[in-house]
Structure 1
Amino acid sequence: MPPVFSHGDLRLYLLNLLAETPRHGYDIMQSLAERTGGTYTPSAGTIYPRLAKLEDEGLVTKTTDGRKTVYEITDAGRAELQERAGDIEGIEAGLADTVRLIADEVRLNVREAMRSLRADLAAAATQAPRESPTTASDDARVRSREQLQRAEAAIAEFRGRVRGELRTHVARGGELASDVVDALNTSLDDAARAIGEALRR
């Protein structure tokens, strides 16, 4: 997957965001996620050091508004933006290209997965039926395989749904707390243990 920002471009793009309106750190991260279609969700460890550097250079100032620190571009920051207007246009065009490439890559992966699934289904449908007489043991094995497919489909659906929820939440700038992930791990361990116990009965 191509990088969203080339070296040094993020610094300039932060100035560009602050030229639109003063923002606090979370707002900046959320804006970046929105403008890249959720393909880039920077961490606080990426954004705040760059904001501090911009402040050291006299390009932004910060003020405290309750519990939030609000960053605002200075005249010197606006002057640099004006001097590098062509670079900003290039960054915007690069962002559009990168988002398009990532979207194409996702679509390609989905198409490949669908082709693989169709091939698997076609192979299963063309398998020759057994010619030997069907026994009770054979019936039990067939039922077990059917239930196994149901179980695997349920697991895949659960994985896709939870993964989608998590990715969407983070892409929109939401915080994913460690206790949420810990709770998820605990629940999955409990479910695996319960299934193992049920199978051993």
Structure 2
Amino acid sequence: MSWFQKRGLKQVILNVLKDHEMTGSQIIDEVERLTLGMWRPSPGSIYPALDQLEQDGLLKISRVEGWKKYYELTKKGREELGKSEGGGVNDVVSQLEFVIRYLIENSDKIDPKQKIKINQLIDELRNSLS
């Protein structure tokens, strides 16, 4: 189970929608991209979560094009997102720990190009902390 899954799908959705509106399908694709292809939430988990977030007043349907519904955060959703982001550096370090442990457990699934990118980020972090 990834850091994203441990944090909860609803929280992940709020984070994904913080910059712009998206459809459910786009949210699925974005979560997959953010996890380097290691987690792709199913439609059976995304759409009920979107419905619940809408009922909770944390997001709304911003527009509908044919069968496509576009979701965006409400003011309440942005406030909720701000609460979860308010942990500062200590919260980020905890999140980083989960991500690193997940990458270690799934290192055999990481694309070689992504491994290079990860190593570059590790070097940058190491240099900045020296």
1:71 aligns with 2:71: yes
Counting matched residue pairs gives 102
Judged with a 3 Å threshold, the aligned counterparts in structure 2 of structure 1 residues 91 and 10 are, in CA distance, closer, same or farther, namely: farther
Contact 1:36–1:99 under 8 Å retained in 2: no
Judged with a 3 Å threshold, the aligned counterparts in structure 2 of structure 1 residues 44 and 91 are, in CA distance, closer, same or farther, namely: farther
CA RMSD of aligned residues (A): 2.2
Contact 1:29–1:43 under 8 Å retained in 2: yes
Judged with a 3 Å threshold, the aligned counterparts in structure 2 of structure 1 residues 47 and 54 are, in CA distance, closer, same or farther, namely: same
Look up the SS of the partner of 2:106 in the other structure: helix
Q: How much does 1:51 deviate?
A: 0.6
TM-score by length of 2: 0.69
Compare the two structures and name the one with the higher helix fraction: 1
Judged with a 3 Å threshold, the aligned counterparts in structure 2 of structure 1 residues 89 and 69 are, in CA distance, closer, same or farther, namely: farther
Contact 1:22–1:72 under 8 Å retained in 2: yes
Q: Deviations over 1:39-93 (max 9, x none)?
A: 1011100100001000000000013123311010000000011111139746852
C-alpha distance in 1, partners of 2:84/2:74? 15
Gaps (5+ residues) in structure 2?
A: 110-130
TM-score by length of 1: 0.46
Q: Deviations over 1:3-51 (max 9, x none)?
A: 0111x52211110111121100111000111111111011100100001
1:102 aligned residue: 106
Kindly report structure 1 stretches of 4+ aligned residues shifted beyond 6 Å.
Answer: none
1:49 aligned residue: 48
C-alpha distance in 2, partners of 1:89/1:65? 37
Identity among equivalent positions (%) equals 28
1:11 aligns with 2:18: no
Contact 1:39–1:99 under 8 Å retained in 2: no
Judged with a 3 Å threshold, the aligned counterparts in structure 2 of structure 1 residues 97 and 81 are, in CA distance, closer, same or farther, namely: same
Contact 1:37–1:99 under 8 Å retained in 2: no
Q: How much does 1:96 deviate?
A: 4.5
